[in-house]
């Protein structure tokens, strides 16, 4: 079992000051996985596992902060080694970030670390 590590940093997300921003993470292609979400430079975990409508706070409170999302995907789909990860920000612009990749063989893991800067 090999682990493929990918890092994407400095992804801007524009937010309105008076709206609440929510995060949902979807893993596609019938693969399985989990997540760890935290603010960069803060060791406290906001959420882990399945992420659905995680309240990140009001735009005024999160503007200028960097959110770090680590998503690990295990390739269990025998039909494809393709991996699709979508991070959806309700009340964010852009509203979603989609990452598509593939692992070499069945049972391999893809680890995607993303850092979003709220503006």
Kindly report, residue by residue over 23-38, the tens digit of the pLDDT.
Answer: 999 999 999 999 999 9
Beta strand extents in 50-108 (DSSP E only): 54-58, 66-74, 82-90, 92-93, 96-102
β 3-15/109-118 pair status? parallel
Residue 22 has pLDDT above 90, yes or no: yes
In this structure, what token pair is assigned to residue 62? 């999160």
List pLDDT tens digits, range 46-85: 999 999 999 999 999 999 999 999 999 999 999 999 999 9
Take residue 108 and report the two structure tokens written for it: 């391999």
pLDDT over 90 (residue 1): no
């Amino acid at each position: 079992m090999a682990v493929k590590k990918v890092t994407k940093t400095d992804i801007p997300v524009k937010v309105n000051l008076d709206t609440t921003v929510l995060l949902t993470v979807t893993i596609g292609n019938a693969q399985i996985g989990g997540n760890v979400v935290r603010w960069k430079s803060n060791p406290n975990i906001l959420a882990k596992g399945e992420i659905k409508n995680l309240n990140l706070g009001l735009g005024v409170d999160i503007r200028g902060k960097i959110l770090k999302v680590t998503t690990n995907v295990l390739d269990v789909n025998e039909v494809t080694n393709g991996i699709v990860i979508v991070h959806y920000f309700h009340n964010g612009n852009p509203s979603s970030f989609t990452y598509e990749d593939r692992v070499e063989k069945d049972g391999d893991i893809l680890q995607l670390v993303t850092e979003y800067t709220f503006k």
